[in-house]
Structure formats: structure tokens, C-alpha cells
Amino acid sequence: MLLSGFFFYTNYYQISSTIKSRKLTSGFGYCPKVKKIAFLKVHKAGSTSVSNILQRFALHNDLNLLLPDKNQTSKRFMFHVIGRDYSQTIPAPRGQHYDILCNHVVYNREQFKNWFDPDTKYIAIVRDPVDRFLSAAYYYGVLSKNKVNEHGIETESLQLENYLLERARNGSNTADPLNQAVDFGVHPRNQTKSFMSNYLDIIKDDFSLVLIMEYFDESLVLMRRLFCWELQDIIYLKLNINKRHLSLTLTEDSIKLLKYLQSAEQMIYELFLDRFWQQMLHEGPGVFDEVQHLKNVLSRISRYCYLGVFSSDLVVETSEWNNIFSISADDCRMMMSPEIAMNKELIARQWQKYYKSLKKKI
């Protein structure tokens, strides 16, 4: 069991967090941690790493996760995806509410309001549409679906260009049916500039923070500061890395065509990229020192976890941005656990919490 041996660590974490009175946040005052978060898990945008962070945060703080209720046999690898199956979710424990969402779901404003309390923070992550498309081309089989012969980079790039031209000739609004605009609730038929100009105003207000994949560590530091978290809340190991697309190249004309086809996605990306840098600059120059500190800490943790020699815990010393904390073998296993396996454990845990709540007297 992935969570076996984890409960000792959970107790240690909660006790040590209680002892710490100093919250190292972006301001000079004190503030409670934000613990109600709805994360829009955008496809192929580094969202698996964010989900793992939120899942561990939920475990550390005994929070309720909004998880799908699907047959793991019939749904196979889709059992952990909510998508548009809004009714197929595990009920919150009786008398309680959902705290954290970090599984794939198509954004629906009214449904999110039904699920979460008004003070819940909505967050998401986006990625440069060109890079995301190239990554998705392999991951979702765009190349194989178009009968690509993988005899070299040149052939694959040419096939991608032909694919884009075919989409344009067919009058498609998008190059990828699973693009970021779809995750944000925009049907492909509505991915026009006229529709998006109004829709952007809505999602800009709904989402208080949108992380940027290209600036992942910077995004995590910003989230830590805005949500009054501690450094150990945002540590991670990189998951679901697909480097194969890095060999693909597109001509300048093909990139222009791709941006045209993905105009809705491009508008979303540019909107949140611009706001991200406004938020970062608002934090002051010290935020970039903290980013570098986080990178240094993550490098140490990565070496410790992947080396796999756990004779003792890794101690991260006190700094301007964190109190002392330690990383154990259990922490490494949690950070490295595959997405499917982690979801199976969390779904079992959430059902256990629900049935336990039914036995309690109101």
C-alpha cells in the first residue's frame, strides 16, 4: 500500500506544523493556510506534478478530495477522470464538504459552485500552446492516427504540417480536440475570437491563480505565498515527462497555422501569462531569490530520492523562506507514486471516510 507507513509521518507533520508559529509568507503578517482549492487539471501542461502536490497536501491536512466514482474494471485507465461525468463522484462525508479537487474535469462554473464553498480558490495551469501540441502529438497518438512512419524527424515534422493543413481545410477551430480551451469549458465549436473575448473576462475572475508550466517553480513559489503555505508544501519530483516531442520541429508557417487553429487556447495562455508576471512582480525582487532557493532544495531532494539510499532522513535547514524540515523514504515514495496507483489509494481512503461518517450520530 502506498499509504502504509504514512500515518506516522502525518502525525509528525501535523505536530511539527503546530509548533511552528512563524508563517513565512509574502507579507509581514500571519495568515492561515488556504485549504480549499479546486485545481483545473489541464491536459499536457505539467498538471500531474501539481496534482501530486495537492494530493499530499490533502493527506497531510486530512482534507476531503473530490474524486470520481467509476468502475475501475470497465473504465480501465479512465476511472480517475471526472471529465463531464459530474454526478459520478464520491460523496463528501456526512456533514462535511469537499476541500480539494485535482483530477481531470472539464470546467463548469455552476457545477464548481455546487461542489465547493464560496471561499474556495480556483487555480489552473497552462502551457505554451505550440509546445503542448507537440507533446500531445505523441502522447495522444495524433501521429499514429495519421499513419505516420517513424523513420526520422523530417518525416514526423512533415506529417504534422500536413495534419495542420488538413484541419484548416476542414474548417476546424482547433488543431487538437483536447486543447486547453476545452479544459476551461469551451466547446471546440465555440473556440472563436468573438466568443472568447467575453469568456476570458469570466474565467479571469473565477481563477485567482493560474500556474505557468514554463515557469513551474516560480508558479509554486507564488502559490506558496498567496496561499500562506510552507516550503515543504510545494516540494515535488517531476512526473509524466515526455521528452520525445523535443525532436520535433515545425516550420515558421506551420507554427503560424497552429496558432491560428489554436487561437482560443493562445488567448487563454497569453491572458494568464501576463497576469502571472504581474503577480510575480507585485511580490518584489525577493521572490526570485526564493525561487532559486526552491530549485536548490528540489535538486537535493531529487538526488536523495532517486539515489534510494535511505539510511537517514534528508534535513532541509532553516532559511529565510522555510523552517527546518526533513524528507523521508515515505515522502519520496509518495512523490514518485504513479498517478493511477495514487488515485486508487485515495479513492479507497475517501470511501472509507464517507462510510465512517454514516456511522456517526448527528
**Cα-to-chain-centroid distance, residue 221:** 14
* Whether residue 223 has pLDDT greater than 50: yes
Q: pLDDT tens digits, residue range 263-291?
A: 899 999 999 999 999 999 999 989 999 99
* DSSP strand pairing (37-40 vs 100-101): parallel
Which amino acid, one-letter code, is at 88? Answer: Q
Percent of the chain at pLDDT exceeding 70: 77
- Looking only at the bridges linking them, the beta strands covering 207-212 and 121-126 are parallel
Length of the chain measured in residues: 362
What are the grid coordinates assigned to 1, written together?
Answer: 500500500
Residue 326 zone, left/alpha/beta (φ > 0; ψ -120 to 50; rest): beta
Position 23: which residue type? K
What local confidence, expressed as pLDDT, does residue 136 receive? 78
| Mean pLDDT value across residues 214-224 | 98
pTM value is 0.85
Average pLDDT, the chain: 84
Residue 166: per-residue pLDDT: 73
Instruction: Please tell me the predicted confidence (pLDDT) of residue 169.
Output: 66
Look-up of cell digits 526533513: 326
Q: What is the dihedral of CA 221, 224, 230, 233, to 10 degrees?
A: -90
The answer for residues whose C-beta is within 8 angstroms of residue 298's C-beta and 6 or more apart is 217, 235, 236
Report whether pLDDT(240) > 70.
Answer: no
Top mean pLDDT of 15-29, 42-56, 157-171 is at 42-56
What pLDDT sits at residue 259? 84
Torsion angle, CA of 180/44/238/150, rounded to 10 degrees?
Answer: -160
Residues 89-116 pLDDT 10s: 999 999 999 999 999 999 999 999 999 9
68 φ, ψ to 5°?
Answer: -75, 150
More reliable by pLDDT, 147 or 114: 114
Cell numbers at residue 76, please? Answer: 480501465
Distances, alpha carbon 139 to alpha carbons 131, 177, 240, in Å: 12, 13, 10
**β-bridge partners, 319:** 322
